[in-house]
Structure 1
C-alpha cells in the first residue's frame, strides 16, 4: 500500500512525470469548452498550454509526434506506472468488487465533463461469458467495412494496454494515448476527494476510452463488458443503441454467482428500457432469466442463430473455430439493428435480399483478434535460413479459461492440426527436407490458469475433447505467467536460481494432469514419437518432470526448449497449444515476436 501511495504522489507531480520541467498555465483544469490543451516540446521542456479550439479534437499532438523517441518511451512508461497505481490488491471475491459504489462512475463522468458527450455516443454494448470479445470484433469490422468511423473497447490486453482502444481497427497511437491519458489523470487528480477518490484500474480505463471516443468523434462506440454487466464500468452508458449477450457459462463465480441463473442476472444488467437486446441460444436456466429481465423492462429479447456458412459465398471467417459462427451470427444481428436504429440501413440492404451485403462479407472475413484461435509459426525460424522451416515449430494460441471454452478450444486445435496433417500428406509437401507424415507430428500442451480457477474443471474437457477427435498430447508443460498482475506492461524477470521461483500452483496443476491420464490411457501419445528421447528436458529448467508432463520455471525456458527441440529434430513438426490463460498467451506472443 505504501508503494501505491508513493506512486500516486509521483504521478501527481508533473515535474517528475516526463523527467523534465513541466510548465503549466493556471488554473489547468477544468478547461473551458472553447479551449484545447496542447502538448508542445521546447528543448527538454514539455509545456501544457491553453489555446483556442482549432480542430474537432481536444488534444493537439503536433509536439509529441515530433519528439524524441526516447522521451516518448519514457513518458509512456511513466503513464503505465501511474496506471498501475490504480490496481488494487483485493482478491476477486472481495465485497468491494461486487458493485461497490458503482455510482461513482457518474461522478467521474461529470468531473471529466463527459456526461453529456457520452450520452450522445451511438453505443453497442456486449456482455457474455464466452465470445463477447469476438462478437465485438466482428461487429466493429463489419461497420468499418460499411464506411463508419469506429471505436472498439475490449479487454484484457495481451501485450500492450493500447490494444484495448481501437480506432478504425487500429490500436490507438502512443501519442494519442499519452495525451488523453494525462488529461484524464490530471483532471481526476485535481478533483479527487475522500468522497470521490481516484478510480480503480478498470474504471479509469473505461473513462479513458470514453474520452478517446468522444474527442475522436467516432460514429459508433462498441463496448465489451469487462466483467459481469450490472456493475461493470461500461454500464454507465444509459442509452446504448443496441446491446447483446454472447454465450453464457460458469466463470467469475466468486463475483457473479454460483448458478447460470445468477450469472445471467448479472449479465442482463446491461439491458435498458427501449433498447433492443440480442442473445444467442442459451441453456434453459440462463435464457429464462434473460427473458424475465427483458420482460420487466418491456423490451423484446431476440435470439440470433449461428451464421449459415453458405452465406459467406466461399469466404472464411477472419476468426477461426466452429464456435465463431455463433459469434458472427450475433454480430450480424446487432449490426442490422444498429443500422436500422440510427437510420443508416439505406443502400446497404437490397429489398428482400437474403444474401449478406458485400460490406458484411468483407468485415466478417477480415476480422482479427490476437490470442483467440490464433496460429503463429515461430518467427525465429524464418530468420534461420533455408535449412529451417517455420512449420517446424507452430504455436496454436487460445486464451480459453472456462470449461465451455476449453471444449471449443480443443475442437479448434484438433481440427487445425488434423487439417494441416492432411494437407501435408495430400500435397506431398517437404518439411525441413523430409516428407512429413503422422509419424513426425509432436503435440505439446503449454498450460497455466489463475489460482481462482479449478484445473479439475478445465483440463478434463480439453483432454477428452481432443481425444474424441483423435488428437492427443505427447507432453504437457505447466509454467507460471511472466506478466505481472499488479503493474501494467511489466514482465517478471525469471530469477537466476530456479529454487527462488514459486511453482506450487503449477505443481498442483501437474498433479491434476497426472491423475487424469492415469485414469484415461488414451489421452497422451506414447507411440508415435518418443518426445522424451528427442527433446531432453534439463534439470536446470524444470522443477519436476514425468514421462507425460513437466513443470518449467519460466516461459523463456519453455520457448528455448521448444526451439532447441525443433532445431535438433528437423523432421519433426512441433505443434504447441498454449491455453488456460490470456495472460499466458500474451506472454508467449510477446516472447516469440521479439
Structure 2
C-alpha cells in the first residue's frame, strides 16, 4: 500500500517519542536497528562511507560545512559525486533532514522510500505498535535512501549523544568529529559532562581517525581514553589559518566549527586519495548556507536574525552574533544605532527555560546591551502549539529579574512578527528570533510567505 506524502508524515509523526524511550538491544552495536536494516535488504552498511559528527553545540553547522567543502571540491574537479547529508532537527519539513547534494528529498521520493520501509517491516511481522520510533524511522529512511540512490559519501549528525543513537549503526565510518561538548539532554545522557562525553565517545570506531575541537578537561579525558581503548587516533584541532574572512565566519564559534569541518573533509578526501585545496576551502565555507543558523532576512526596514540556539552553550553565541550585527564594531559597517532591537523568544521543553532567561538577562547586563522589548511567543511542534501556557509565567519571571525592558507574551508567532514590525523606528527594526528550532522554522516559513 502506497499512501500520500501527507499520510507518510502522519505515520512518521505518530511514532514520536522521547529519544531513548524505546529500548534498543545490545548497545553499542544497535542490534535492533541492524535487524530492521536487514529486513530492508541491507545486510551490511560497509558500502556506505560515513563521516559521523556529534557534540552539544555546532554539530549541524559542522555537518553543513563539511558537506559544502566536499561539494565544492568535487564540483571544482568536475567529478560527479553524490553527497548525502543527514541532520536534525528540521525547520519546516522532515524532508530537510535527508539531503543529496544539499537538496532535500522531494515529496515523491520521500513518500516512495518511506512506504518501502513501512510496508516491508509490516510484512516481516512487525505490528504498527512496535514499529520503529520517529528518530529511528528517519535514520532508517536516510540509510535506505542513500544506499538506493547510491551516494558516494554520507555525512551524519547524531540526534543526541552517540553511543545509543539510532545513527550509530555504521560498519564503515571513515572519520568522526566532535564539536563542543556541554550539558544538554541530561534526562537522557546523564547529569555530568563525563556522562555526556561517554555517550558521545560511542561513535568512535577502531582505527578510524577522530577529530575534536578543544574540550574542557573532563570531556577531553573521556574522549582520549575511549580513543586509546579502541585504537582510534584522535586529534584536537584549533582554528585553521585557511578559514577565510567572511560574514559567515565572523564569530569564533563559527570559525571553530569550520576548522573541524576542514579536517573532516580533508581526511575523507585523503582516504579516497584526493586533496582539499585552498580554493575548495574558500568556496565551500563562504558559500555554505545553513537555513535557520545565523540566518538574516531583510524586508524593507525590518531585519530578522534567526538562530536555532536552545541551550546554555549555543545561546550566548547567538546573542554575541546579534550584538555584533546590531552594534557594529567598525565604521565600515552599516550603523543601526537608531533601530529598535527586539527579541522574540520561545522555549518550552524539559530543559529549564528559566535558566535560559537568566542567561539572556545576564548577557545583556555584562555586555551593556539592551533590547527595546522582549516578545514571548508560542510556536507549533508537529502540529501542536507549545509554550502558550508557560508564556505569561515566563514573562512575569523576566520582569521580576529585569524590570527595565518591556516584556510581553502574544497568542501566536504571527502576532509576534507583527508586533515587532510595529516597533520599528524611522531607521528600522532589528529582531532576533531564537530559543527553539521549531520557533525558528515556523518564523522562517511565515517570513518567506511575507506575513
TM-score, normalising length from structure 2? 0.91
- 2:137 counterpart of 1:204: yes
Q: Which runs of 5+ in 1 are unaligned?
A: 1-13, 19-74, 349-355, 379-389, 427-436, 485-489, 493-500, 525-547
- 2:389 counterpart of 1:504: yes
* Distance in 2 of aligned mates of 1:319 and 1:481: 29
Q: Residues 122 and 128 of structure 2 are in contact (CA less than 8 Å); yes or no, is this contact kept in structure 1? A: no
- 2:269 counterpart of 1:339: yes
Shift of 1:140: 0.4
Distance 1:467 1:422, change over 3 A: farther
Equivalent residue, structure 1, for 2:78: none
Q: Residues 24 and 32 of structure 2 are in contact (CA less than 8 Å); yes or no, is this contact kept in structure 1? A: no
Equivalent residue, structure 2, for 1:52: none
Equivalent residue, structure 2, for 1:515: 400
Deviations 1:16-57 (A, max 9, x none): x54xxxxxxxxxxxxxxxxxxxxxxxxxxxxxxxxxxxxxxx
* Distance in 2 of aligned mates of 1:123 and 1:105: 17
Distance 1:111 1:139, change over 3 A: same
Q: Residues 211 and 263 of structure 2 are in contact (CA less than 8 Å); yes or no, is this contact kept in structure 1? A: yes
Q: Which runs of 5+ in 2 are unaligned?
A: 75-80
* Structure whose alpha-carbon radius of gyration is higher: 1
Query: CA RMSD of the aligned region, Å?
Result: 2.4
Shift of 1:470: 3.7
Q: Residues 184 and 311 of structure 2 are in contact (CA less than 8 Å); yes or no, is this contact kept in structure 1? A: yes
* Distance in 2 of aligned mates of 1:358 and 1:425: 29
Shift of 1:417: 1.1
Q: Residues 317 and 364 of structure 1 are in contact (CA less than 8 Å); yes or no, is this contact kept in structure 2? A: no
Shift of 1:317: 5.9
* Distance in 1 of aligned mates of 2:333 and 2:363: 24
- 2:60 counterpart of 1:175: no
Shift of 1:97: 5.3
Q: Residues 251 and 402 of structure 1 are in contact (CA less than 8 Å); yes or no, is this contact kept in structure 2? A: yes
Q: Residues 409 and 462 of structure 1 are in contact (CA less than 8 Å); yes or no, is this contact kept in structure 2? A: no
Equivalent residue, structure 2, for 1:121: 48
- 2:60 counterpart of 1:136: no
Shift of 1:584: 0.7
Shift of 1:579: 0.9
* Distance in 2 of aligned mates of 1:196 and 1:133: 31
* Structure 1 counterpart of 2:411, from 547, 553, 567: 553
Equivalent residue, structure 2, for 1:445: 343
Equivalent residue, structure 2, for 1:366: 287
* Distance in 1 of aligned mates of 2:25 and 2:363: 39
Q: Residues 240 and 259 of structure 2 are in contact (CA less than 8 Å); yes or no, is this contact kept in structure 1? A: yes
Q: Residues 478 and 510 of structure 1 are in contact (CA less than 8 Å); yes or no, is this contact kept in structure 2? A: yes
What secondary structure sits across from 1:510 in the alignment?
helix
Aligned length in residues: 440
Shift of 1:491: 6.2
- Using CA pairs under 8 Å that are at least 6 residues apart, name the structure with larger relative contact order, 1 or 2: 2
Shift of 1:175: 2.2
Q: Residues 411 and 469 of structure 1 are in contact (CA less than 8 Å); yes or no, is this contact kept in structure 2? A: no
Equivalent residue, structure 2, for 1:406: 315
Deviations 1:402-445 (A, max 9, x none): 1121111111110011129955767xxxxxxxxxx62x311111
